[in-house]
Amino acid sequence: MVSRRRFEKAATTIATLGRNELKKQIKNFRGRFKLDFTDAYLDAASLDRLRHILLAALITAKSRN
C-alpha cells in the first residue's frame, strides 16, 4: 500500500499539472501495465479526469512494489 505521505505528495504534484503535462505523463507511463488512451480521448477528457487517471495508475503501480 502506498504510504499516506507518498500519496499526498503525488496528489499535490498531479493537482498542479496542466493538460499537456498530464497527457505526456499518461502517454509515457511506465509501470507494470500499459496505459493506452487515444489522443482524441485525452483531448476530450476533463482535467479532473486526466488527474484521476494518472493518480490511479501511480497508486496501482506502487501498491504492489
* pLDDT, tens digit (0-9, with 9 covering 90-100), for 5-26: 888 998 999 999 999 999 999 9
Domain assignments of the chain as residue spans, ordered by start: 4-62
Q: Given this model, what pLDDT does residue 7 score?
A: 84
Q: pLDDT per residue over 19-60, tens digit each?
A: 999 999 999 999 888 899 999 999 999 999 999 999 999 988
Is residue 63 pLDDT above 80, yes or no? no
Alpha-carbon span 1 to 61, nearest angstrom? 10
More confident residue, 40 or 62: 40
The grid coordinates listed for 4 are: 499516506
